[in-house]
Amino acid sequence: MVDPADKERLERLEKRISEMKGAKAPASKMEEHHAQAHLVWRMVIELVTGIVIGFGIGYGLDSVFGTKPVFMVLFILLGFAAGVRVMLSSARETRKDDRAGDGRENDDNGG
């Protein structure tokens, strides 16, 4: 049998634990906000990096062959396409991680 004093202490402890869990809920929203901001910056950096690398390669080839805007424009476009592809891959990876954390199935069909 449980002593009434122990039962009362246990109920107070459970109440304190539930209050502490409730107090930590806003912190998780803040962490989620920072995680989303980190993801956005990662995607921006991936896109800009692709464009800058494409510009560098194109400018270098144009300098070597003496065809100023041709390779630069071509490789900037290729760099942009590569950046978008990496961004989509990152988004897909993040979506898979979120679904795994929620216990949902991992499918790429959006549903």
| 81 within some domain | yes
Q: How many folded domains does the chain comprise?
A: 1
On whether residue 65 sits in a domain, the answer given is yes
| pLDDT of res. 68 | 86
Residue 85 has pLDDT above 70, yes or no: yes
Query: Among positive and negative, which fits the CA dihedral 33, 39, 45, 51?
Result: negative
Q: Structure tokens of 99? A: 């679904």
Whether 23 shows a pLDDT value over 60: the answer reads yes
Residue 59's identity, in one-letter code, is: Y
Residue numbers of the domain that contains 68: 43-99
Strands (E) across the chain are located at none
Q: What is the pLDDT of residue 50?
A: 96
Q: Quick check: 54 and 76 in contact, CB under 8 A?
A: yes
Q: pTM (2 decimals)?
A: 0.64
Q: Give the type of residue at 44.
A: V
